[in-house]
Copies of this chain bind each other. A is one copy, B any other.
Amino acid sequence: MQPANLLTVISDQLPNLNCSESKVAAVILADPEAATRSSIANLARAAAVSEPSVNRFCKRFDTAGFPDFKLQLARSLASGIRFVSSSVDPGDDVTAYTSKIFDSTINSLAMVRDRISHERISQVVDKLVQAKRIYFFGLGASGAVARDAEHKFFRFNLPVSYHDDVLMQRMLAATGSAGDIFFIISHTGRTRELVEVAQAARAGGATVIALTAPQSPLAAACTLPFTVDVPENTDEYMPMSSRIVHLVMLDVLATGVTLRRGAEFLPHLERIKKSLQPTRFPAP
């Protein structure tokens, strides 16, 4: 959707530029941020060329003119900064690592948002709506995700549980049958235990949905793979953002199911909400 980063394009084209154009390029690449703020006269002066030269430079890069060029530049800078600064260094101070972690999480979410198959979400919601019973399975960090999922799906008035105990998972999988959904959550999709659980559940005729990495053994082993591609953090200091993405995906699924249930389901939700009131101090 977004065209290639303007700064990259400029530096790629650097050898093909003529004298005054490359002077302009040099000034812009030296401080792109400043370039977005200056006027054409300013920039021309800084590059020691005439204003029309700057204008020609802009048009060369498929922009309508100088103002449009600045706009595009600002855009590439904004998206660029966030991608570049995504890993935490040992020397980072609070401000630095805090925004890096937030930015990288936001990026993962934005990326998945733009790439996720809505078709597939629809299919998964279909299955969940028809389910007689749902099990959420996860281990380690994904155990917490499974627990959160249970907490969201119990509202739908059907038997839902989460399990982070491999033995329980195996036993439940062995007894699964048509109408049961085993919803398996795994960051890597390569955990042997979970793959075996998926196979066992499938053998019994149950539906197995896996929220996991694409092209993983787990995705291959289930009936309906629901894969999200979250760029792997190789950085030692960086937290896994796949957990977060998984949680949001489950929010989406739960919302899909709620909408499918229709408006007559709302009083039920309202009742659940009300039930918590006595446990709380009144709102200010």
Contact = CB atoms under 8 A, between A and B. Distances in A.
Interface of A: 1-2, 36-37, 67-68, 70-72, 74-82, 88, 90, 92, 94-95, 97-99, 101-103, 105-107, 109-113, 116, 118, 121-122, 125, 140-141, 143-145, 147-148, 151-152, 188, 190-193, 195, 215, 217, 236-239, 243-244, 247-248, 251-252, 254-256, 258-259, 262-263, 266, 269-270, 276, 279-284
Contact of A75 (B2, B78, B94, B259): B78
A244 B241 CA distance: 11
Contact of A248 (B88, B101, B148, B280): B101
24 contacts: A1-B95, A1-B99, A36-B71, A67-B70, A71-B71, A90-B259, A90-B263, A94-B118, A94-B256, A97-B255, A98-B113, A102-B109, A102-B110, A102-B248, A106-B113, A140-B276, A141-B148, A144-B147, A145-B148, A188-B280, A236-B266, A236-B269, A237-B258, A247-B247
Contacts of A239: 152, 251, 254-255
A215 B284 CA distance: 9
A106 B103 contact: no
A244 B102 CA distance: 11
A38 B83 CA distance: 28
A67 B79 CA distance: 20
A89 to B, nearest CB: 9
A155 to B, nearest CB: 11
Contact of A99 (B113, B190, B237): B113
Given A109-B105, A239-B254, A98 B121 contact: yes
